[in-house]
Amino acid sequence: MDSESEAGEQRASARVVVVDDDPLSTSIQAHLLSLLGHRASVETDAGQAVERALAGEFDLILLDLGMPGLSGFEALRRLRQREAAMQRPPIPVIAVTGYTSEADRVRCLMAGFADHVSKPIHADKYEIALRRALSAGPPVAPASEQSDAERLRATIRRLQEAPAAERGFGPTVAESVALRSQQLIESMKMALTENDAEQLVCGARAMRSAAEFLGVHQLAAMCAQLDSLSMQQQWGAVETILHEIEYWNQAVLTMLFESAR
């Protein structure tokens, strides 16, 4: 095998760290990375992630911007300063963030991030950003339009076909999504009783991220609607859409668990 082919294989199975303090986000990204053939690890402390990167543990960093303690921008600045002092080539860093405006994207690129990926994560865009950062080949075109059920079944098949060693991130996807989604729904119900718009928005965005990962666009759209209605404090409409989200979520979980048996 020539050196160019060997380099391509190394890029195709990269060592990638997800730096995020949100358990649902780290779980989704770890599973996506495994499905894409990469070796994923998780770090909830940005400072520790910088130290591990400098020790040569990673080929790529996926960094949330809103980390507690050390922000994503500050973590990138420290990494680049240390790399320069050590005369080391820079490790590519992708911002994976809920800051989704065009101004946010430009700010990230100007700060030195290799790319900007918005939350909720879209699997196709996520893969394209990884390929571009790792120089692993041309982007993959998005899949053709499918129904939510077809997309969900395709996601389940990919998860089932992933090698067991690459699925070793704790509970199964079905168990993780079921536990987290139920917690989020109960939290949003409580927030509604207290007219807590901020908590409702946080829950809606977390639910939307999970729905996008699974490919259930209808549920994701409902979560986006809940987000908007909560910010407008339209409590009657919030209650209605929250009931719809709970119904759709149960249907998704039913399909997940039936496929896992």
CA–CA distance from 179 to each of 46, 53, 108, 160, 182 (Å)? 26, 32, 33, 19, 5
Token representation of residue 97: 């963030």
Co-location of 10 and 132 in the same domain: yes
Three-state DSSP class for 204? helix
- Residue 235, domain member (yes or no): yes
| Least confident stretch, 25-29, 199-203, 224-228, 248-252 | 248-252
The side-by-side arrangement of strands in the sheet containing 60-63 is 39-43, 15-19, 60-63, 93-97, 115-118
Token representation of residue 235: 């409590």
pLDDT of residue 5: 41
Average pLDDT over residues 134-156: 58
The CA distance from 224 to 232, in Å, is: 13
- Residue 163, domain member (yes or no): no
Instruction: Indicate the residue among 142, 159, 191 that finishes a domain.
Output: 142
Q: What's the CA angle centered on 155, arms 153 and 157, to 5 degrees?
A: 70
pLDDT of residue 141: 35
- Residue 74, domain member (yes or no): yes
- Residue 159, domain member (yes or no): no
- Residue 156, domain member (yes or no): no
Average pLDDT over residues 1-23: 67
- Residue 228, domain member (yes or no): yes
CA 18 to chain CA centroid, Å, is 9
CA nearest neighbour of 214 among 139, 167, 150: 150
Co-location of 128 and 249 in the same domain: no
Co-location of 125 and 23 in the same domain: yes
Instruction: Indicate the residue among 142, 163, 188 that finishes a domain.
Output: 142
Please tell me whether the peptide bond between 90 and the residue prior to it is cis, using omega within 30 degrees of 0.
no
Percent of the chain with pLDDT over 70: 82
**Residue 7: is its pLDDT beyond 60?**
no
Co-location of 189 and 68 in the same domain: no
Q: Looking at the 3D structure of the chain, how many domains does it have?
A: 2
Higher-pLDDT residue of 99, 250: 99
- Residue 79's pLDDT band, with cuts at 50, 70 and 90, is very high
Could you tell me the residue range of the domain that residue 209 belongs to?
Answer: 173-260
Instruction: Indicate the residue among 98, 120, 142 that finishes a domain.
Output: 142
Percent of the chain with pLDDT over 90: 34
pLDDT of residue 160: 66
- Residue 151, domain member (yes or no): no
Co-location of 206 and 131 in the same domain: no
Averaged confidence pLDDT in the chain: 81
Co-location of 107 and 40 in the same domain: yes
| Domain containing residue 229: CATH number | 1.20.120.160
Co-location of 138 and 211 in the same domain: no
| Domain containing residue 122: CATH number | 3.40.50.2300
Instruction: Tell me if 259 sits within 8 A of 153, measured CB to CB.
Output: yes
Token representation of residue 49: 């992630």
Query: Other C-beta atoms within 10 Å of 217: how many?
Result: 16
Co-location of 111 and 72 in the same domain: yes
Q: pLDDT per residue over 180-237, tens digit each?
A: 888 999 999 999 999 999 999 989 988 888 888 777 888 888 898 898 899 889 999 8
Co-location of 61 and 106 in the same domain: yes
Co-location of 129 and 21 in the same domain: yes
Looking at the DSSP bridge assignments, the partners of residue 93 are 61
CA nearest neighbour of 65 among 49, 54, 50, 76: 76
Instruction: Tell me if 46 sits within 8 A of 95, measured CB to CB.
Output: no
